[in-house]
Structure 1
Amino acid sequence: MSDLRCRLLQLQSRFTWDLKKDDMDLENLSTRLQAHIDLQLGQQGAVARSYSFLAYVRYLQDQPEEAVSLLNQSEEKTRECFGEESERRLIVTYGDLAWLKYHTGDYQQSQAYCQRVNDILLKYPTDSPEVLHPEVYGEKAWTFLKFSWSYYPKAVDCFRKALELQPDDSEWNAGYAIALYRTEPMFSEAPEESPGTKQLRRALEIKPDDGVLMSLLAMKLGTYNKHQEADNLVERALKIDPDNPHVTRYVGKYLRSQGDYDRSIVLLKKALRRSSQSAFIHHQLALCYIKKKIDEHKKKPFNNQTVKHWRSLCIQHLEEAVRIKASFVLAIADLALMYAEKKDFSRYSVCTHSYTEVLSFFFGTAEK
């Protein structure tokens, strides 16, 4: 038994990457991953990864049998996508299966999956034992990027290592761009474009028809007042991938930042029809309605019923955002302000209490 556990600890697996349950919002993560699977979102192989991610979530939720089933589906999807090139992409999947079989007491199968990993590593050796395969760095990076904002710096580092080995790979370039986008401040006074902006350009050179990358780059360019280029990217993204809720939500966010609230609302509503359990989209819609409310309030005279209408819609979407993602601190803060405006002080009190609890959790996690 101790020999098996020693073998397991040597594996590259979500079970050995120091992923902490307390760092994750498991319910929200589960909802988002299931949506990715249902909508078949992402680049080649992304659905297979979503099955693997969801498997680990199910393990953390004490559902090991479903976790094994999801990993088997991940293996099947990986083979469908990559065919003969799939073996290195299964190193982590087999590592996860080895751990799951160990935790369920099936030590023979656990040994078998350890051996599968070993066979792949012997077949495809790296330059040194300390260097992982780029596919493993990539899998590790996507895991960190998906599971918690607190792991984003680790995702950046892993994507960078994958690119050192495969500098022209479209997947690692896209992932690196997204990771940098999420870790950089949105606004910068520096005259030069940020590393994240430059990496988005690099990723689009390799994969010029990626609507998600276009919409993210548009967001960045808007902060540099490069509005013409940003507008062109937005229109191209909507033309290339009009039904992808990730595209429409980021384009909607861009349009809101440019003051085009009505068009933003139309696009965000469209995205919500395909991704109804997206706290991000509900929050973006609420922010649009806040702007509509403020604009009405500025009128002399303003229509009080119209103000109440926009506030009501805003509260509706903020409540949905918080219901879907209980740790959504920005949405909680915005909702508290709306309750205060409405003079609904009992709900305001509940909201501010939740806000304090979430912040305490985040800072407590950071201190660990």
Structure 2
Amino acid sequence: ATSFMASMHCRAARLQQLQCHFTWDLKKDVDLKNLSTRLQDHIKLQLGQRGAVARSYSFLAYVRYSFHKEALSLLNQSEETIRERHGDESERRLIVTYGDMAWLKYHLNLLPLQVKYPTGSSASLLPEVYGEQAWTYLKLSKSYYLQAVDSFRKALEIQTDDIEWNAGYAIALFRTEEETEEPPSIKQLHFALELNPDDAVLQSMLAVKLGAYKKYKEAEGLLKKALKTDPDNPHVSRYVGKYFRNHHQLDESIDLLERALKRTTQSSFIHHQLALCYKRKKIAEQSHKYSSVESSSDSCLFRFGDFHYHHKRNEAQAIVHYTKKLKKIAERRLSRNPGDGEALALLGQVARAEGNRKEAAEFYEKALNCDKDNEEYLSALCELRLELQ
């Protein structure tokens, strides 16, 4: 028994020296079902750079390692895909996959433990390892994005012009940086596109960034290229849809996102983008509906909101003006008639737009008390109660 325990301790110590998903201290405090779905979509739709599908197989094996047979199959598919795509360069790119295999066999208590490739010291890794680590952080959750930036930088210190690491670094910067006069992501996206001019995802992301800085001509040229190059890629659709939403082309955004949803039905990002489009469309419609029956001073404020919305392209300011005015209109109507269900529902809509779901639910409950058979109020209340659970 002592000999067996010593052997297990020795194996565990050797395993800790490997570079793989099992040793990167990945906290599984994320929605694993959602992560599994995203990785399965990447595999099914063959999304990403040429090494992306192999990485998705390997990462999915780690996420589902308790399903041992499935996980082993996924790792074998990862190895096969890497060998098909990288040929003579495969061994360095198999370091993480082999490390995951060794850990999985340890959990299955399979002997002997065989690690097919040494990983080097933990202080200085090969760029292929830094790159795979960075992509893992990027796919895992928002809390790991800054670690992704750091790992991509380390990979690029060694392989400056690598297409995959430059693309990943651009995406990581896009997701993490604050708005500044010259955001680093714009420069990095341009550089990544110099290395790989036909990457439609990077084209659509750069368009979103350029649009935010009023460089509309270049942005719209990139959108056309992206939609021509890879029109069915849901990642392209989601960023082009975001551009349309940011620039008030809500119908175009909704159409594009709904088509993308047919290819990746469980995408939380696309569902969220669609929800934002519908919410903003409804706010705009309600604003104009009420402005047509209120005073001239109210209409002036609505026109001020329209100015921000259509001309200054400042959607946030426009929504602030619209919601402020809607609230004022609703409160005025309630002062005249405390049982005005439509006004109470309007306050519920404003509270929901501002993120106050509990307050919104309370307003819709009051609205239903005034108009018990109103399906719109009931539907909104049910949605809010689900969100509050």
Pairwise same-fold verdict (TM > 0.5): yes
Letter in 2 for 1:179: A
Instruction: Name which of 73, 81, 87 aligns with 2:77.
Output: 73
1:26 correspondence with 2:32: yes
SS of equivalent residue, structure 2 residue 18: coil
1:265 correspondence with 2:254: yes
Q: Distance in 2 between matches of 1:52 and 1:201?
A: 30
Instruction: Name which of 7, 14, 18 aligns with 2:14.
Output: 7
Provide the residue aligned with 2:324 in structure 1. none
Query: Matches of residues 89-108 of structure 1 in structure 2 within 5 Å?
Result: 89-108=93-112
Provide the residue aligned with 2:286 in structure 1. 297
Provide the residue aligned with 1:179 in structure 2. 172
Q: Distance in 2 between matches of 1:350 and 1:249?
A: 25
Provide the residue aligned with 2:189 in structure 1. 200
Provide the residue aligned with 1:47 in structure 2. 53
TM-score (norm 2): 0.75
| Cα 1:129/1:37, change in 2 over 3 Å | closer
Provide the residue aligned with 2:4 in structure 1. none
The CA deviation at 1:210 is: 0.6
Letter in 2 for 1:65: K
Large movers: runs of 4+ above 6 Å:
334-338
Letter in 1 for 2:117: V
Q: Distance in 2 between matches of 1:198 and 1:176?
A: 11
Provide the residue aligned with 1:358 in structure 2. none
| Cα 1:346/1:278, change in 2 over 3 Å | closer
Could you tell me the percent identity over the aligned residues?
A: 60
Q: Distance in 2 between matches of 1:297 and 1:154?
A: 43
Provide the residue aligned with 2:387 in structure 1. 351
Which structure would you say has the larger Rg? 2
Q: Distance in 1 between matches of 2:122 and 2:61?
A: 28
The CA deviation at 1:168 is: 0.5
Q: Distance in 2 between matches of 1:34 and 1:331?
A: 33
Instruction: Name which of 190, 204, 213 aligns with 2:202.
Output: 213
The CA deviation at 1:63 is: 1.1
Q: Distance in 1 between matches of 2:73 and 2:353?
A: 35
Q: Distance in 2 between matches of 1:281 and 1:337?
A: 27
Provide the residue aligned with 1:139 in structure 2. 132
TM-score (norm 1): 0.79
The CA deviation at 1:93 is: 0.3
Q: Distance in 1 between matches of 2:259 and 2:382?
A: 34
The CA deviation at 1:199 is: 0.9
The CA deviation at 1:295 is: 2.1
Q: Distance in 2 between matches of 1:43 and 1:70?
A: 19
Provide the residue aligned with 1:224 in structure 2. 213
SS of equivalent residue, structure 1 residue 101: helix
1:217-263 deviation per Cα after TM superposition (whole angstroms, max 9, x unaligned): 11111111111111111111101111111001110011110011111
The CA deviation at 1:130 is: 2.6
Letter in 1 for 2:286: H
Indicate if the aligned counterparts of 2:204 and 2:226 stay in contact, CA closer than 8 A: yes
Provide the residue aligned with 1:37 in structure 2. 43
The CA deviation at 1:347 is: 5.3
Indicate if the aligned counterparts of 2:91 and 2:117 stay in contact, CA closer than 8 A: no
1:162-205 deviation per Cα after TM superposition (whole angstroms, max 9, x unaligned): 000000011000000001111113xx2x33x2112211111111
Indicate if the aligned counterparts of 1:283 and 1:331 stay in contact, CA closer than 8 A: no
Q: Distance in 2 between matches of 1:134 and 1:335?
A: 46
Provide the residue aligned with 2:303 in structure 1. none
Report the number of matched residues: 309
Letter in 1 for 2:223: V
The CA deviation at 1:348 is: 3.0
Q: Distance in 2 between matches of 1:252 and 1:281?
A: 9
Q: Distance in 1 between matches of 2:254 and 2:291?
A: 22
SS of equivalent residue, structure 2 residue 262: helix
Indicate if the aligned counterparts of 1:156 and 1:180 stay in contact, CA closer than 8 A: yes
The CA deviation at 1:11 is: 0.5
Provide the residue aligned with 2:319 in structure 1. none
The CA deviation at 1:291 is: 2.0
Which has the higher relative contact order, 1 or 2, with Cα contacts under 8 A spaced 6 or more apart? 1
Instruction: Name which of 233, 240, 246 aligns with 2:235.
Output: 246
SS of equivalent residue, structure 1 residue 299: helix
RMSD over aligned Cα atoms:
2.4
1:74-93 deviation per Cα after TM superposition (whole angstroms, max 9, x unaligned): 00111111011111000010
Provide the residue aligned with 1:16 in structure 2. 23
The CA deviation at 1:20 is: 1.5
Q: Distance in 2 between matches of 1:276 and 1:35?
A: 9
Provide the residue aligned with 2:273 in structure 1. 284
Indicate if the aligned counterparts of 1:337 and 1:348 stay in contact, CA closer than 8 A: no
